[in-house]
Amino acid sequence: MPTFISGTRTAALIALLLATFALVGCDQSDREWHGKDISGLMPPLEFELINTQGEAVNASDSDGQVRLVFFGFTHCPDICPTTLARLSQAVGKLPENERERVTIMFVSVDPNRDTPEQIAAYTRFYGDRIAGMTGSEPQLRQLVKRYRTTFGYDEPDENNNYNVSHSAGVYVFDTRGKARLLLRPDLTAAQIRDDISALAQERRS
């Protein structure tokens, strides 16, 4: 009967669709993360930037580290200071052997104002596990596009002060560079510590 066939076919289609969505992100452990699990949603870590000494730096330079990537700018009035303080607090509470395997990467998306020296002074304030970096605008655009984020500038006022819109989340990559978690701004330092501790304990393969 056509109606029966149609019904079965529709049910099969719906089941297939549901199964497809259920499978997205199922290739990782079944641990309950505080952050948003982005395994399978995003590509592995890759970038070409400059560090606070003005030297070229790429993702493979920090292989073997759990990397917490945060986009911001040093003139940021609220999100950047609070996020960096929280990340730094979370990393600081890790046992020594785990702490050594974690790097916070602060990527300034305001290269016109943020010189490498300025970024170095800014990140130093938040601890020694923070690597500051920036790049040319095309380099930064390429990187943020890869991670489905962006940044934008407001019109500058008479003192050349302007606001910058940027991501408020922290992208977490495991020791192999695979995208694993996206930390929303509402997570506490303890929750962040739990997540990165679990990632730092994972065995390298």
Q: Which residues bind other proteins (CB under 8 A)?
A: 5-6, 9-10, 21, 24-25, 36, 38, 40-42, 71, 144-145, 148-154, 163-169, 182, 184-185
- The nearest distance, CB 165 to other proteins, in angstroms, is 4
Q: Are 54 and 191 in contact (CB under 8 A)?
A: no
- The nearest distance, CB 88 to other proteins, in angstroms, is 20
Nearer of residues 96 and 186 to other proteins, judged by Cβ? 186
Separation of alpha carbons 179 and 159, rounded Å: 39
Q: Are 45 and 68 in contact (CB under 8 A)?
A: no
Nearer of residues 70 and 122 to other proteins, judged by Cβ? 70
- The nearest distance, CB 190 to other proteins, in angstroms, is 20
Nearer of residues 99 and 139 to other proteins, judged by Cβ? 139
Nearer of residues 9 and 124 to other proteins, judged by Cβ? 9
Spell out the SS3 assignment of 54-100.
CCEEEHHHHCCCEEEEEEECCCCCCHHHHHHHHHHHHHHCCCHHHHC
- The nearest distance, CB 47 to other proteins, in angstroms, is 16
Separation of alpha carbons 134 and 115, rounded Å: 8
